[in-house]
Structure 1
Amino acid sequence: MPRTSHLIDDPLYYSHLQEWKLYERTPKERAKLSFERSIAMGRANNLTLKDIVTLSPAFWNSHRDPILALDAAAGTLYTIHCNLALGTLCSYLPYCHDPELANLLKRMAKMEVNGQFCMTEIGHGLDAENMETRATWSLGKGHWVLHTPRPEAGKYMPPTTPYGDHGVPCVATVFAKMIVDEEDQGIRPFLVNIHDGKRMYEGVSTRLLPPREGSNPVLHSITYFENVKLPAGAMLEYPSQASESGPPSNSFEQSALNLRLTQSKLAFELAASRVSVGALALSLGAASAIKISANIGWLYSWRRLVGPVPGDKKVKSKSQIPIISFSTQQNPILTAVARAYVLDAFHDWVTEVFSGRDPYPTTLRIRHSLAAVSKAITIQFASHACYTISERCGAQGLFHVNMMSRMHSELRGIAIAEGDILGVAIRLVNELILNKYSLPKSRDPGSLLARHEQGLLDECREIMKASGPNHRSPLTNTYILPRCQKIVEAIGHRMAYDAAVESVKRQIHVGTTGIVIPECVIDLFEASIVRLDEGWYIENIPGFSRKMIEEKEVKALGGVMKIAGYLVERWGLVKGGYIKAPIASDKMWGNFVEGLEKFGGHTIE
């Protein structure tokens, strides 16, 4: 049971009726509520600094909590604070002799101080290595001067604007070029006070961005610094001995990286290492959207009946039947169920790798790549589930109150956060093609999904050979870049399939379901992935045809349909109170309609 389970009945988390009325509030009022929810989540999870640094099961479980899907704005604020802000600062703690940092981290862990992470700039986006914000060492005065040289260098998106009278102070890890003796010595992180909960600190200013449509609002902002004086200790750095292996995560005392930042590029990647943790954490939260959409679609499809109304003497046909009887209704729901279960197995494995509890050796780049793979397939599956299942709910699926359209909008933001999927995929695929490193190989290289993954990579390697030594050639730009996201997804599909098969072999209960994945679920997952690129399989797998693909899918769908009710129930979303959509039950729908604004006096009994 999630540590936040009691919050479902808390006044902060409204019933479906009250949630609907919430939209009468202004975006700023709703953003403030989400901020308060994020604080409540943080205090309920009660993560220790050790949990955050070592990436303990408690840390990962807090991001797999379905409560994040009820308010993605609150989930975003929670992840920024606990992972990006606290996680980054904690890694420097063993090497900092300033007791104030330890005191600050304790207050942040108690959610008494809010943490933010300012890296991306308006004019540079993912090209963070060319950021312009600078921190100049003031010779003879013993302090740094943090400055935004032009408007395009403003830090974009972090919600650094005060929430009015809330009174929670904010600090941020701000990335800037370190200038010493007029020499650029690379990008470094600096600890900066942003506001005291009500007013901005001197030299720090923000411009509040308008709210995003379709999702719960966050006070996204553009943040500027005008000659802000920072103490010498504001720059965060590690001791000597450079290494790329990353922080050992098996003990708190050795949790930070043992290195002196002599190479500026490596220094930047190490300082930003929690970004990859964040990408994985966000994908865990996004997986809940698949389960919630499938659960809502399943319940609604049994409620929604077609056929003549019972008692109509003019009609001699049989009684009404639920729309779940139709394959067009079953397919998207059952596919989402299968993908959610297989993703649970994959997420179980990849979080173990990140935390150092899996024997697979990793570096910062490999962890970053695994996070990118996880995010790519989770967003792919979640976006597909939210869209297709909401579409099968007809007009009901369009409404924010029925959750699916809102979650779909919020997934667009998650796809961009911590590095947008396409941009990260382009770098990852190019590095794999150039053999700069390798990702975990398939346990079954003869499987369909492993052959698909390898086939796509081999095709790109042939193109790269034809382009000569210049891997940035027009040929690469034209033929490889458009394939990169698809290749990363193929890598993820194979990894997820392997993880699911291995979990069955070892009889491991996946996620929080308490069950081993049934074979038909894995079969449906495989069939659904083959459908995504069936032309490749027909071209490259002897004997494959459209009819064969269809028959494999139909057989798997039939097997999953027989146990779908059980599989959905094992998630515990209805029992836990996470399904807020009125269309999920007659009682919730009746209460919802009773709460709608009424015009006229006619009442239908």
Structure 2
Amino acid sequence: MTATIDHPSAERSRDLLTGVLLGDDFRREHGFWQRLISTEPFRRPERGGTEEERRALAYERLRVLNDSLDSGARLAADPRALAALHEWLGPVDPALTTLAGIHYNLFLGSLLDQGDEHRDLSDFLRLRRVGTFLCTEVAHGNDAAAVETTAEYDRERDGFVLRTPHAGAQKFMPNTSPSGGPKSGLVAARLLVDGADHGVFLFLVPLTDTVQALPGVRVRLLPTRTGSPVDHCLTSFDRVFVARTALLHGQHGRVGADGEFSSDVANRRRRFLTSIGRVTAGKIAMTACAVGCARATLAVAVRYGGHRHISGSRGSGRVPVIAHRSHHGPLASAMATVFAMSLLHRRVLDRWEANGPQEEAERLVAVAKGWITWQARSVIVESRERCGAQGLLEHNGMSELLTGIEGAITAEGDNVAVHAKAAAEMLFVAAPADSGRFPDTGPGDLGDPGFLGRLLAEVERIWFDRARRRMSLAPHGDPLARWNAASGPALRGVEAYAQRLAAEAYARAVAGLPEGPARERLGELQRLFALGRIARSGGDLLAAGLLTADQIHGLPDRLEELIATVAPHLPELAESFALPPEVLADWPIARPDYVDAYDDPQAAWQPDAERRTGPEER
């Protein structure tokens, strides 16, 4: 299980699997980021440093990154490049990834999407000023459309006055301190014109210089958040004036030179969603970050499992810990999940770029963000546990990524909230197209991936039918009671929907590979993923007559057989993640000589210890 890939046919197989994970054109799409994180500025320091030093390092790296780009504007305008940034920077420096995502996507992206084409962005493109994004408030997170910061139009000065009316309206967790240099932010605030509330818009507001907050802006560091240090702050405004051009305008709304408001969008909530449209790209970025972090931790766990040897049973000699079923079984299942996450992420990215029906695409992005980040947490927790106490040490990378994924689960909309919104929409959508299309002869073959896919579609249909039935039994005229009755099974339906889409992506990927080892490996993972999910719904499928009692009884054995098939290939599958050797070298337990990272140069076992110490010291 510890063999590395060096045979030409093995390299070909690895490259095919890398193409499955990263796309056929992965060298062009991902090569820049792979090379960047391999360079010295992005290598892991030998010592972690203080929190302030680590924050400073993240901003220094942001500047190195920016200097390496041919165009920050081009990056901000390219969702595929933004996703790749998060996929590769996430495992290396979560704090840097947070700063880069905010600056390039939420800040620059919003300016490019909605800003005046004559606006001078040179300070932000050259990072003379760092951009940040202030939407969430202490009292308003997932209900950000209800933010209470106001921007009131002042006709005499032809601009807006920003004000924070109370403690609950303080902007929550933006990186607004002077750390990293002068900052400007896009502030989500209620646009008031002559007392009329026109909804929430974004306003470009200078926040700090190199030393302190600007007049009228109050910035306070929040208590330390577990994980990578970012200067998360509470930010408030005391009658801060900005010019009329600070409003990011468009068809959703503008204030003209005559001081009158106009909009092509009548609905205030829709205006708000247009203003913060970059949050959807942010969800894709969170998904990419989760995929990259899960792959990295799994690769480290697989490598460490091959390097770490323990005593075998009954004097059989020392064996790698990964030889044990109790160790390689969870990693094999995690490998099937990581490929599913990666395939679904790429499907979502392709769909978003295709510019089809926007509402459907946004729902797909939201469902994928929730499911993939939750799966990533499970994979990271499992991988960390397989590395024992050493997986808890920060220098081995895993503990930092575990806390980082918690941030991704919450960022750009809490997972439960975005899944609940998707569930409410999907309750009124027809059942999956393929569900129920089973041959009259009864249950099919569990070795047939097509049959497994239809079972997953049926699981989705079962949960949504259950939700609709429960909703119909709840008291009419009480929307909350009806939703509470349906929400449990509806959320399970959203989970099943994500699993079905991942299984469909698996099927397409397997069909797209030529006959050979790569296709065999991917097919094994495909079946392991599908059977593992089907086993959790065996009772429902048995009751629906889609599985027999014998098939239910046989599922554990089938899963064990697949795990035994996948386990010997875990090292080569981890190689397909294409993690740069320099990055792997920065995590001690990923190296065969990991014990050397804990060696003591002054210890008695050193060859020159006798010469260096006297008897009294020994």
Q: TM-score range by the shorter chain?
A: 0.7 to 0.9
Partner of 1:12: 41
Corresponding position: 1:287 with 2:299: no
Partner of 1:260: 264
Corresponding position: 1:189 with 2:189: no
Superimposed CA distance per residue, residues 193-250 of structure 1 (whole angstroms, 9 cap, x where no aligned partner): 111233222211111012212x1111100110110011011111113799xxxxxxxx
Partner of 1:472: 479
Match of 1:522 among 519, 522, 526: 526
Q: Deviation of residue 543 (structure 1)?
A: 0.9
Superimposed CA distance per residue, residues 159-186 of structure 1 (whole angstroms, 9 cap, x where no aligned partner): 11111xx4x3211111111111111111
Q: Aligned equivalents of 1:471 and 1:87: distance in 2?
A: 41
SS at match of 1:586: coil
Match of 2:68 among 28, 41, 44: 44
Q: Aligned equivalents of 1:440 and 1:131: distance in 2?
A: 40
Match of 2:467 among 453, 460, 470: 460
347-356 vs 544-553, greater mean Cα deviation: 544-553
SS at match of 1:449: helix
> 1:451 and 1:61, CA in 2 relative to 1: closer, same or farther beyond 3 A?
same
Q: How does 1:19-58 map to 2 (within 5 A)?
A: 19=46, 21-22=47-48, 25-55=49-79, 57-58=80-81
SS at match of 1:159: coil
Contact kept? 2:152, 2:193, Cα under 8 Å: yes
> 1:508 and 1:240, CA in 2 relative to 1: closer, same or farther beyond 3 A?
farther
Q: How does 1:8-407 map to 2 (within 5 A)?
A: 8-15=37-44, 18-19=45-46, 21-22=47-48, 25-55=49-79, 57-65=80-88, 67-93=89-115, 96=116, 99=118, 101=119, 103-104=120-121, 106-163=122-179, 166=180, 168-213=181-226, 215-239=227-251, 260-307=264-311, 317-356=315-354, 361-363=356-358, 365-407=359-401
Contact kept? 1:12, 1:33, Cα under 8 Å: no
> 1:319 and 1:339, CA in 2 relative to 1: closer, same or farther beyond 3 A?
same
Superimposed CA distance per residue, residues 542-562 of structure 1 (whole angstroms, 9 cap, x where no aligned partner): 315553221221222223224
Contact kept? 2:409, 2:415, Cα under 8 Å: yes
> 1:403 and 1:480, CA in 2 relative to 1: closer, same or farther beyond 3 A?
farther
Partner of 1:252: none
Partner of 2:604: 602
> 1:86 and 1:401, CA in 2 relative to 1: closer, same or farther beyond 3 A?
same
Q: Deviation of residue 288 (structure 1)?
A: 1.3
Superimposed CA distance per residue, residues 373-420 of structure 1 (whole angstroms, 9 cap, x where no aligned partner): 111221122111111122122222222222222211111111000001
Partner of 1:311: none
Contact kept? 2:218, 2:235, Cα under 8 Å: yes
> 1:573 and 1:9, CA in 2 relative to 1: closer, same or farther beyond 3 A?
closer
Q: Aligned equivalents of 1:474 and 1:575: distance in 2?
A: 55
Q: Deviation of residue 77 (structure 1)?
A: 0.9
Q: Structure 1 length normalisation: TM-score?
A: 0.84
Q: Deviation of residue 119 (structure 1)?
A: 0.7
Contact kept? 2:55, 2:231, Cα under 8 Å: yes
Contact kept? 1:134, 1:179, Cα under 8 Å: yes
Q: How does 1:478-489 map to 2 (within 5 A)?
A: 479-489=485-495
Contact kept? 2:133, 2:186, Cα under 8 Å: yes
Q: Which of the two has higher C-alpha Rg?
A: 2
Q: Aligned equivalents of 1:349 and 1:392: distance in 2?
A: 30
Q: Deviation of residue 537 (structure 1)?
A: 3.9
Match of 2:588 among 582, 595, 598: 582
Higher RCO (CA 8 Å, separation ≥ 6 residues): 2
530-539 vs 179-188, greater mean Cα deviation: 530-539
Q: Aligned equivalents of 2:434 and 2:77: distance in 1?
A: 28
> 1:152 and 1:241, CA in 2 relative to 1: closer, same or farther beyond 3 A?
closer
Q: Aligned equivalents of 1:584 and 1:423: distance in 2?
A: 37
> 1:387 and 1:184, CA in 2 relative to 1: closer, same or farther beyond 3 A?
same
Q: CA RMSD in A?
A: 3.0
Q: 5+ unaligned residues in a row in structure 2: which ranges?
A: 1-26, 255-261, 438-449, 608-618
> 1:272 and 1:522, CA in 2 relative to 1: closer, same or farther beyond 3 A?
same
Contact kept? 2:280, 2:362, Cα under 8 Å: yes
Q: Aligned equivalents of 1:146 and 1:193: distance in 2?
A: 12
- Equivalent residue letter for 2:203: F
> 1:45 and 1:561, CA in 2 relative to 1: closer, same or farther beyond 3 A?
farther
Q: Deviation of residue 266 (structure 1)?
A: 1.0
538-547 vs 567-576, greater mean Cα deviation: 538-547
Contact kept? 2:461, 2:493, Cα under 8 Å: no
Contact kept? 1:534, 1:546, Cα under 8 Å: yes
Q: Aligned equivalents of 1:418 and 1:515: distance in 2?
A: 36
Partner of 1:255: none
> 1:299 and 1:188, CA in 2 relative to 1: closer, same or farther beyond 3 A?
same
> 1:438 and 1:127, CA in 2 relative to 1: closer, same or farther beyond 3 A?
farther
Superimposed CA distance per residue, residues 35-81 of structure 1 (whole angstroms, 9 cap, x where no aligned partner): 222333344354553443353x333322322x321211111111111
Contact kept? 2:585, 2:591, Cα under 8 Å: no
Corresponding position: 1:560 with 2:555: no
> 1:572 and 1:506, CA in 2 relative to 1: closer, same or farther beyond 3 A?
closer
- Equivalent residue letter for 1:362: P
> 1:122 and 1:316, CA in 2 relative to 1: closer, same or farther beyond 3 A?
closer
221-230 vs 285-294, greater mean Cα deviation: 285-294
Q: Aligned equivalents of 1:129 and 1:327: distance in 2?
A: 50
> 1:8 and 1:542, CA in 2 relative to 1: closer, same or farther beyond 3 A?
closer
Q: Aligned equivalents of 1:448 and 1:33: distance in 2?
A: 49
- Equivalent residue letter for 2:241: K
Contact kept? 1:425, 1:484, Cα under 8 Å: no
Q: Aligned equivalents of 2:361 and 2:240: distance in 1?
A: 35
524-533 vs 374-383, greater mean Cα deviation: 524-533
Q: Structure 2 length normalisation: TM-score?
A: 0.83
SS at match of 1:473: helix
- Equivalent residue letter for 1:343: M
Q: Aligned equivalents of 2:343 and 2:402: distance in 1?
A: 23
Superimposed CA distance per residue, residues 486-513 of structure 1 (whole angstroms, 9 cap, x where no aligned partner): 332221111111112112223399xxx9
- Equivalent residue letter for 1:456: W
Contact kept? 2:434, 2:454, Cα under 8 Å: no
